[in-house]
């Protein structure tokens, strides 16, 4: 690709002379910001926006503002920005789109992260569908809003106004323009003390001054959907801090950031080896965590004595706090840090004595292990139970200590190489003879430097009917997806608690899919007329607009007559032509737990067979009407293994491959519904449709092997439904459990579920239900 503007004449043919002149002025700066590939995307974006026919100012705004966005967060975001602009073109005016581009550098600078900026673009897509009149005033105040709110706070503030003033357009404009009292009240409610983006540079310089090295810091994403955010934590040598902190008493939020960053950096500098959790109970681990925090802080204070005051101000434990184990842990943490703190409790005194006696052995993490185990044993005499969920440290700067714990699945040596370039596997295409001569390589493992690939299947000389790929090959493993879970007992999210593993769906005999289509010929024929009636046709003109695409001649003539007669003319002389098109994306999520293998009462087929039949009919119906749709399924074996199957994706045609996957689906394991719904929501968020539907088909309530409390996963699934709703996604559940009335309405809402009492009628009910939900 070239960096010479004259080489892109074909892309610039449609641009107006003024835009080309502006581009020539902007080109030297653009070549410094973009790579050759980025320049190509930059110019293609300008050409595509010119093709909208919305005037030169929109193209000029793209030329001016896009390099500023790329300079802040990288050039990879440019294609997403162009896609958003093109998708907004059919839903709002050119002036609003121009505002989106003009304020994009502000948003990029305040967010400072590619993923957060993508979330911001998705938020704009959602808002334009729910509060179109609020876009212009909100974008005009974006600098003020981002100066006080995180992205999550901005989203909650906007959605509150969109729902409160859904039909009152005048009040909607006042709310988003920060002109109403309730707008300022909600803004104050969502406002946080100090934003991470405002102090990040200062904190970086602070840590560099202390330890003469750089530390990598990122904001946590918790506040995007939850008011509380997450605790600080260290992962892959990155320090993750909350994206906003409130002041802690008389201590400013900036000082809280300094304390949190310094504590996390102390872990990275002073923790040389992980602590083994083998044979430890939760109480012992909690006490050891307190001692390890005190150990690394004491080592840091020896080098920088001023850190003692920085950390001590954020501890508020006192001797009167003695009701729970958490109270004693907080008192111990303060006692080991603050020598002026007086506490006569024998257990606290013992902890101080042991820690002081080991002052010469603090370089080893084994000291924390020995003292922690001894103190945990001594605490048993108090007869106070320990609850890991509620007995936590209250000092806001302390992290969750995941960094130094060595669990069975944690390999510390491998984590040391995180972020560094490692030798990559090379896929080498070979011929039959090369493959046959080197088939058996005893020393080859998953870390082999070369993977040999053939263009076609290779069968053994023996007539076995099975290829070497089926016998020896391994299924590719996708990267795991981590999602939080809501714990209703402590009213907090557990960050990265559930792990979703995408698995490749097995192929089955497609004959059963054809048999289903033949079995339900009558239903398919009956639905043909219903679906044909739903097909949109033609265009619709919206008249009497102040801001439209073209002039309404009749209205303009009437206004001119009014002017000639000395009357006040009607300013609404514009109109807009809107194509009547369906703009909806649908994801069908199937429960594939073990219970689906049970036979339907009085019949010789299983619930899974009925689910397959219903899905095939629904797929035929959606495919007939032309809506983009996906079919996914899930099951689980504890929170670390939520298996997720993608039978059909949105961009995949409904042909032999998805049908064969549906034919091969099986029922197994359990039903961790919340994590699966969050993963399905992730895929729906990537769709640009104005309306999005998540249709869940299940035969029972959420449950899993590692959860005993039946309410836990119900509340988590309800939280997943709420999160999807905040993203503009409608969730609907079709339950085959006759007892589902007891819980499903509390999870999905009063009008967002259907209990099928006679499951044998599911195949005929599901397509009709879909027609009702998407009309």
Residue 438 has a pLDDT of 59
pLDDT surpassing 80 at residue 621: no
Q: Where are the alpha helices (DSSP H) in 131-180?
A: 135-140, 142-146, 151-164, 169-176
Task: Report CA-CA distances (Å) from 737 to 152, 734, 756.
Answer: 36, 9, 7
Query: Residue 448: its pLDDT value, please?
Result: 55
Q: What is the pLDDT of residue 332?
A: 92
Lowest-pLDDT range of 297-306, 318-327, 403-412, 552-561: 403-412
Half-sphere CA count of 757, side-chain side, radius 13 A: 1
pLDDT of 308 reads 92
Of the pLDDT bands very low, low, confident and very high (cuts 50, 70, 90), residue 527 is low
Residue 32, judged by CB atoms within 10 A of its CB (0-12, 13-18, 19+), counts as exposed
Counting beta carbons within 10 angstroms of the beta carbon of residue 68, is it exposed (0 to 12), middle (13 to 18) or buried (19 or more)? middle
**Stretch 746-760: mean pLDDT:** 79
Helices (H), 505-571: 511-519, 521-534, 553-564
Q: For residue 263, what are its two tokens?
A: 């504590």
Cβ count within 10 A of residue 24: 10
Which 3 state secondary structure label does DSSP give 355?
helix
Q: Averaged over 749-772, what is the pLDDT?
A: 72
For the chain, the average pLDDT equals 81
The pLDDT tens digits for 280-306 are 888 899 999 999 999 999 999 999 999
pLDDT of amino acid 437:
61
Find out whether 372 and 288 touch, Cβ atoms under 8 Å: yes
Pairing of strands 233-235, 238-241: antiparallel
Question: What is the per-residue pLDDT across 186-204, written as a single tens digit (0 to 9) for each?
Answer: 888 777 677 777 788 888 8
The residue among 582, 630, 588, 635 whose CA lies nearest residue 611 is: 588
- Which residue would you say has higher pLDDT here, 533 or 19? 19
What are 678-695's pLDDT values in tens digits? 999 999 999 988 889 999
Neighbour tally for 190: CB within 10 Å:
22
The pLDDT value given to residue 408: 39
Task: Dump pLDDT digits (tens) for 327-359.
Answer: 999 999 999 999 999 998 999 999 999 999 988
DSSP 225: T
Alpha helices, DSSP H only, in 89-141? 94-111, 114-130, 135-140
Is pLDDT above 60 for 410? no
Q: Strand, coil or helix: what is 610?
A: helix
Region 597-620: mean pLDDT is 82
Please compute Rg for the chain using Cα positions.
31
What distance in Å separates the CA atoms of residue 739 and residue 755, rounded to the nearest whole number?
A: 9
Place of tokens 């602590």: 275
Q: State percent of the chain over pLDDT 90.
A: 18
DSSP one-letter code for 35: -
Task: Note the pLDDT of residue 294.
Answer: 92
Rounded CA-CA distance 718/485 in Å is 11
**Residues 355/315, Cβ–Cβ less than 8 Å:** no
Instruction: Evaluate if residue 631 carries a pLDDT over 90.
Output: yes
pTM, entire model: 0.45
Q: How does residue 643 score in pLDDT terms, banded at 50, 70 and 90?
A: very high
According to the model, what pLDDT value does residue 227 have?
A: 40
pLDDT single digits (tens) 694-749: 999 988 889 998 888 889 999 999 999 999 999 889 999 988 777 777 788 889 98
CA distance 584 to 533: 17
**Angle, vertex CA 238, rays to CA 232 and CA 244, nearest 5:** 40
Mean pLDDT is lowest, of 112-116, 265-269, 373-377, 640-644, for 112-116
Token digits for 634? 């899930």
């Amino acid at each position: 690709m070239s960096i010479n503007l004259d080489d892109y004449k074909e892309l610039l043919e449609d641009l107006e002379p003024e835009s080309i002149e502006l581009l020539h002025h902007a080109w030297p700066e653009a070549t410094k910001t973009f790579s050759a590939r980025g320049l190509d995307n930059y110019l293609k974006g300008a050409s595509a926006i010119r093709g909208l026919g919305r005037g030169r100012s929109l193209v000029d705004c793209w030329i001016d503002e896009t390099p500023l966005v790329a300079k802040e967060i990288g050039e990879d975001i440019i294609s997403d920005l162009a896609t958003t602009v093109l998708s907004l073109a059919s839903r709002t005016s050119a002036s609003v789109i121009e505002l989106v581009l003009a304020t994009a550098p502000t948003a990029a600078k305040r967010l400072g992260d590619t993923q957060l900026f993508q979330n911001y673009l998705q938020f704009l897509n959602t808002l334009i569908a729910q509060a179109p009149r609020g876009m212009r005033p909100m974008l005009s105040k974006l600098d003020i809003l981002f100066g006080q709110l995180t992205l999550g706070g901005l989203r909650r503030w906007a959605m509150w106004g969109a729902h409160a003033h859904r039909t009152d357009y005048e009040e909607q404009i006042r709310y988003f323009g920060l002109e109403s009292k309730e707008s300022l009240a909600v803004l104050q409610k969502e406002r946080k003390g100090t934003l991470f983006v405002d102090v990040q540079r200062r904190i970086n310089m602070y840590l560099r001054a202390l330890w003469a090295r750089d530390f990598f810091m990122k904001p946590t994403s918790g506040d995007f959907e939850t008011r509380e955010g997450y605790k600080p934590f260290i992962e892959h040598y990155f320090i993750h801090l909350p994206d906003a902190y409130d002041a802690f008493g008389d201590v400013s939020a900036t000082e809280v950031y300094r304390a949190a960053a310094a504590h996390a950096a102390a872990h990275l500098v002073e923790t040389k080896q992980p602590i083994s959790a083998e044979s430890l109970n939760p109480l012992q681990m909690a006490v050891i965590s307190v001692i390890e925090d005190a150990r690394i802080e004491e080592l840091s204070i020896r080098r920088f004595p001023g850190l003692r005051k920085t950390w001590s101000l954020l501890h508020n434990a006192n001797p009167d706090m003695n009701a729970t184990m958490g109270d004693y842990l907080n008192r111990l943490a303060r006692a080991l840090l603050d020598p002026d703190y007086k506490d006569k409790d024998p257990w606290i005194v013992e902890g101080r004595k042991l820690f002081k006696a080991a002052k010469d052995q603090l370089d080893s993490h084994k000291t924390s292990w020995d003292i922690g185990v001894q103190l945990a044993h001594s605490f048993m005499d108090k007869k106070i139970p320990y609850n890991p969920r509620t007995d936590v440290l209250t000092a806001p700067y302390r992290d969750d200590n995941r960094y130094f714990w060595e669990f069975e699945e944690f390999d510390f040596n491998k984590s040391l190489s995180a972020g560094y370039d490692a030798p990559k596997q090379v896929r080498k295409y070979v011929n039959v003879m090369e493959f046959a001569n080197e088939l058996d390589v005893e020393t080859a493992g998953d870390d082999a430097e070369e993977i040999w690939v053939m263009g076609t299947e290779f069968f053994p000389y023996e007539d076995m009917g099975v290829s070497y790929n089926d016998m020896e090959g391994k299924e590719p493993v996708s990267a795991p997806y981590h999602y939080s879970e809501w714990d209703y007992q402590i009213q907090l999210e557990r960050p990265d608690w559930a792990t979703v593993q995408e698995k490749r769906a097995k192929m089955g005999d497609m004959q059963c899919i054809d048999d289903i289509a033949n079995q339900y010929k009558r239903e398919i024929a009956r639905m043909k007329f219903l679906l044909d009636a739903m097909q949109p046709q033609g265009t619709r003109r919206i008249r009497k607009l102040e801001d439209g695409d073209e002039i309404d001649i009749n209205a303009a003539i009437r206004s001119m007559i009014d002017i000639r007669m000395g009357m006040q003319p009607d300013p609404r002389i514009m109109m807009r032509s809107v194509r009547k098109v369906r703009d909806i994306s649908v994801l069908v999520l199937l429960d594939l737990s073990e219970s689906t293998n049970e036979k339907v009462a009085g019949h010789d087929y299983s619930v899974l067979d009925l689910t397959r039949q219903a899905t095939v009919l629904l797929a035929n119906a959606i495919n007939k009407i032309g809506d983009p749709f996906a079919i996914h399924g899930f099951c689980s074996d504890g929170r670390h293994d939520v298996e997720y199957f993608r039978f059909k994706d949105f961009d995949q045609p409904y042909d032999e491959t998805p049908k064969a996957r549906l034919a091969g689906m099986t029922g197994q394991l359990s039903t961790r519904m919340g994590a699966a719904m969050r993963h399905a929501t992730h895929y729906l968020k990537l769709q640009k449709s104005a309306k999005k539907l998540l249709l869940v088909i299940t035969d029972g309530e959420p449950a899993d092997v590692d959860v005993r409390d039946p309410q836990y996963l119900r509340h988590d699934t309800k939280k997943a439904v709420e999160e999807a709703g905040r993203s503009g996604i409608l969730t609907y559940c079709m339950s085959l459990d006759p007892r589902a009335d007891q819980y499903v309405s509390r999870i999905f809402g009063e009008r967002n579920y259907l209990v099928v009492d006679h499951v044998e009628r599911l195949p005929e009910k599901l397509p009709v239900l879909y027609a009702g939900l998407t009309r």
